Homo-oligomer: A and B are copies of this chain.
Amino acid sequence: MLKGRQTWIFESKPVIISSAAVVGPFEGKGALAEDFDVIHEDVWMGADTVERAEKRLLEEACNVAIEKAGMKKEDIQFFISGDLMNQIISSSFTARSLDMPFFGVFGACSSSMEGLALASLIVDSKAAQYVLAGASSHNIAVEKQFRYPTEYGAQKPPTAQWTVTGAGVGLIAQQGEGPKVTSATIGKVVDMGIGDPYNMGAAMAPAAADTIENHFKNLNIEPSYYDLIATGDLGRVGHELVIELLKKKGIEMPKDKFMDCGLMIYKDDQPVMAGGSGCGCSATVTYAHLLKRMKKGELKKILIIATGALLSPISYQQGETIPCIAHAVSIEM
């Protein structure tokens, strides 16, 4: 059911019956290491290119999620996935090995929740019994494509973020045990004129604020409705900014409940500048850490707002500012 212009309420409450996250060695030394299903010791995952390494992460996360549900690939109708690689090759090549009908999505780092929102709509409208939704990123592959090869050792300003090496996947079903997807707010593109790809958090904060504001307004709820509200990968700079922006809109975010996946995934002593980022950031934190906390009973209602910076290297080189977007999905036990 549509509420306002852009919020869906899923009346049948699709269930995340299974989920998985597979990460790299640096994330395995991070704050959420215990929650991940697989931690690779080798950032190449035994592959000969970093692009193939990212595909292995996503394939593995899909296979673990399917296995945990005690299901077979053939029982699942659709795979929805996105990533940051040109032509989303990590997702498309994973779809090839999964042999499932496939929807490729692209919303940069918001792809994780774009996929979950669409998967939930498909299940809610009985257009599938089971949909697998995923997203991934790989630090070396992303840095090489968007900025510089990491081997080059380019210096970065403190506003820069660290791309997460990881893939997160959820299996959404009409029925079953697990956290339920209750609503989603689809974001508009917001561009406040920031053109610096080393300050994505600041660029994405206005999009996050816009989606959060519309989510609360359309559902007529307050931030206190949720036990935890987490943006995707705003990092330190963007997180402070979105608090300020929401305050100006008259929305006071409770400090103990409002977090950012990019500020949760690493330890304080890891050199990640302003925090984590990448499609794999919100995907691994949500599908591993947050759902685990829900199942333990620590959290009953959460809202994830995955944020995406929709630039390309060429749009940046041509002097364009960065259009940003944020999609919010609420999950309840």
Contacts and interface: CB of A to CB of B under 8 A. Distances in A.
Contact of A315 (B1, B93, B314): B93
A253 interface: no
Contacts of A122: 121
A320 to B, nearest CB: 7
A163 to B, nearest CB: 14
A101 B86 CA distance: 23
Contacts of A101: 5-6, 186-188
Interface string A165-193: 00000000000000000000011110100
A49 B93 contact: no
A96 interface: yes
Nearest to A104: B106
Size bracket, chain A contacts? 35 or more
Nearest to A83: B106
B312 A99 contact: no
A98 to B, nearest CB: 8
A63 interface: no
A260 B187 CA distance: 36
Contact of A121 (B1, B2, B88, B127): B127
A310 B102 CA distance: 12
Interface in A268-326: 310-315, 318, 320, 323, 325
A99 B189 contact: yes
B189 A2 contact: no
Residue among A88, A101, A187 with the highest chain B CB neighbour number at 10 A: A101
Given A51-B314, A126-B2, A315-B93, A88 B106 contact: yes
Contacts of A6: 77-78, 101
A314 B89 contact: yes
A284 to B, nearest CB: 21
Contacts of A118: 103, 118
A193 to B, nearest CB: 11
B96 A51 contact: no
B114 A78 contact: no
A323 B93 contact: yes
B95 A189 contact: yes
A189 B128 CA distance: 18
Contact of A102 (B87, B186, B311, B314): B186
A92 interface: yes
Given A2-B129, A89-B314, 12 more contacts: A5-B101, A51-B318, A52-B318, A78-B186, A85-B314, A93-B310, A96-B191, A101-B187, A102-B186, A102-B187, A103-B114, A125-B125
Closest 6 pairs (CB-CB, A-B): A125-B125, A92-B310, A87-B312, A6-B101, A101-B186, A96-B189
14 contacts: A1-B126, A2-B127, A2-B129, A5-B101, A49-B318, A87-B108, A92-B323, A100-B188, A102-B325, A103-B118, A104-B105, A121-B122, A121-B127, A124-B125
